[in-house]
A and B are shown apart, each in its own frame.
Chain A
Amino acid sequence: ETGVTQSPTHLIKTRGQQVTLRCSSQSGHNTVSWYQQALGQGPQFIFQYYREEENGRGNFPPRFSGLQFPNYSSELNVNALELDDSALYLCASSPRQGTGELFFGEGSRLTVL
């Protein structure tokens, strides 16, 4: 059983650029959630996708957007990057009816200069 995989693992962008992060969910998981983890902080919920639609959003501006594909994989897009967007971005998958456990990938570390 393949776990949650994310790409790229590290990337560097400059302020104002755009970035796309990718996530493949664990086999059989149809719900994908994205979290932002700033250095020394806990993960903050960005949004969740189920059946290719956004299913809840945290306190993040519209320049954070996402997609989910028919194979349940997902993308996180961030436009007009700001310095404060530098963080570890975590993807987590889960089955719709499950035990409540989130299965996390190892994250994509974004540095904005």
Chain B
Amino acid sequence: GNSVTQMEGPVTLSEEAFLTINCTYTATGYPSLFWYVQYPGEGLQLLLKATKADDKGSNKGFEATYRKETTSFHLEKGSVQVSDSAVYFCAPDSTSGTYKYIFGTGTRLKVLA
């Protein structure tokens, strides 16, 4: 079945540092790919998405590119802020358009001032 492997955390960075969180997946077909974020005490919310190969999703300074050849969707941000401290989840849709996501284990990011 489909699966996703996400970089283990926690990741601790200083403010303005560069962030990469790795995510690779296995899937039959071509799933849509998502990054969700869970801020402390809040529910999950969509950060960005990409629906086909070479698409780049972006939001709030975060970016991720759908790499079909490496089955990856790594999350990057050039300069993190303290307010980015949260848990980040990579999630392919099991079959594009079905809303049945397979979530990674999550990567906790802590940004220090």
Taking CB atoms, residues of chain A closer than 8 Å to B98 are: 48, 56
Q: Are B42 and A102 in contact (CB under 8 A)?
A: no
The contact size tier of chain B is: 20 to 34
Taking CB atoms, residues of chain A closer than 8 Å to B91 are: 42
Q: A33 at interface (Cβ–Cβ under 8 A)?
A: yes
A49 to B: closest C-beta gap in Å: 11
B46 to A: closest C-beta gap in Å: 5
Complex CA distance for A41 and B98, rounded to whole angstroms: 22
Q: Are A45 and B106 in contact (CB under 8 A)?
A: no
Q: Which B72-113 residues sit within 8 Å CB-CB of chain A?
A: 89, 91, 93-94, 96-106
Taking CB atoms, residues of chain A closer than 8 Å to B101 are: 43, 45, 102
Complex CA distance for A62 and B44, rounded to whole angstroms: 26
Q: Are A42 and B104 in contact (CB under 8 A)?
A: yes
Residues of A within 8 A of B (CB): 4, 31, 33, 35, 40-45, 48, 56, 58, 90, 92, 94, 99-102, 104-107
